Amino acid sequence: VDPDDSVPALLFLGVVGLSAWDGGLGPALVATLLGGLAIDYFFETPPYVLEVTSNRTFMDIGAFLLMAVLVGLLHHRLRLINSRLAAERDRAEAAVQARDDLMATVSHALRTPLTAIQVSLFSLCDEGQQLELADRKELLSGVAAEAQRLVHFVNDALALNRLENVPPVRREWNDAGEVVWAVADRCQPQLEGRAIALSIPDELPLMQVDAGLLDQALTALLENVGAHTPPGTPVWIDGGLDGHELWICVSDSGPGIPEGDRERIFEKYERIDGRGPGVGLGLPLARAAARAQGGRLWVEPSKHGGAQFVLRLPVTLASGAAAA
């Protein structure tokens, strides 16, 4: 390149660099090609002829090319890093948002009963306030009920947290009917006198299943019935074996679950009717207990008019036991 030529050469080099910076490798290569041809056409002797006559022209074009590739690659890298950073930032922001939402819900779930307890205790301890014995008793039983609510919440939250992180699955030989009967019997207080119609074949073979997790799932389902169906309505528990799957259905004749809410009810802290003593951890806990041992849990309309929760768990059957 003659000293006179260095100006246009630098100019084109700049254009190539800019195209590479802005557009990436592709546009940079196009700019290189056009720039090379233009220099050859306009400035190389003989001018206005598209013909490579000197090694210098080759070198010019080579330099452009190298420049274009380097800048283009650099640009490509930066862009990749940038998009990765943006994705990370979005994820982090979403996580922070989710955590904030969770904290808000959890602190609400904790603060409500704590406030009630605090206020009641203030009245009870306030010496200036002359309380009737009946009032004192009422305040105290309120405190006890709220404390019980807190206990339930903390227990569920801890159990759920454990199931979601490191579910300790202990598959052992169990009589599924025995477990279901034991849970149903134990849950009678939560069912508040609702009749339980339990039907599980007596002759089910022994199967390897985590009875503790099955217990957790069933308990949560029965507590859910107790909290969300009208008092005095019955609950049906049916079960059996379908190939190598144990199925258990818990159905009621309550209000049922609208179609649009049938997944949402398994989300943490979701409460579709806003009623009941819970805070929306029971059903997520039941599903986590099912999933921890490879099972499924969903809800569908019950033939009794309400909701039917279907639990299906893969099991290993005792050798020689034929799957019915």
User: Which residues form the interface with another protein (CB under 8 A)?
Assistant: 148, 151, 154-155, 158-159, 162, 168, 170, 172-175, 177-179, 181-183, 185, 202, 206, 210-215, 318
Considering the complex, state which of residue 139 and residue 299 has its C-beta at the smaller distance from another protein.
139
How far apart CA 304 and CA 75 sit, in angstroms, is 65
Considering the complex, state which of residue 181 and residue 269 has its C-beta at the smaller distance from another protein.
181
Joined together, the tokens standing for residue 263 give 């997944």
Considering the complex, state which of residue 138 and residue 185 has its C-beta at the smaller distance from another protein.
185
Torsion over CA of 262, 263, 266 and 272, rounded to 10 degrees?
A: -50
The nearest distance, CB 147 to another protein, in angstroms, is 8
Considering the complex, state which of residue 37 and residue 154 has its C-beta at the smaller distance from another protein.
154
The nearest distance, CB 153 to another protein, in angstroms, is 11
The nearest distance, CB 111 to another protein, in angstroms, is 18
3-state secondary structure of 131: coil
3-state secondary structure of 46: coil
List the strands of the sheet with 172-174, edge to edge. 172-174, 207-209, 316-317
How far apart CA 312 and CA 233 sit, in angstroms, is 25
How far apart CA 215 and CA 290 sit, in angstroms, is 10
The nearest distance, CB 173 to another protein, in angstroms, is 4
C-alpha to C-alpha distances, 223 to 31, 103, 188, nearest whole angstrom: 71, 25, 9
Considering the complex, state which of residue 23 and residue 212 has its C-beta at the smaller distance from another protein.
212
The nearest distance, CB 99 to another protein, in angstroms, is 21
The nearest distance, CB 278 to another protein, in angstroms, is 16
How far apart CA 220 and CA 214 sit, in angstroms, is 10
DSSP classification of residue 243: T
The nearest distance, CB 212 to another protein, in angstroms, is 3
List the strands of the sheet with 245-252, edge to edge. 196-199, 235-242, 245-252, 307-314, 296-301
Q: What is the number of other CB atoms lying within 10 angstroms of the CB of residue 108? A: 11
Considering the complex, state which of residue 18 and residue 106 has its C-beta at the smaller distance from another protein.
106
Residues 6+ apart with CB under 8 A from 304: 234, 236, 251, 252, 253
Considering the complex, state which of residue 40 and residue 156 has its C-beta at the smaller distance from another protein.
156
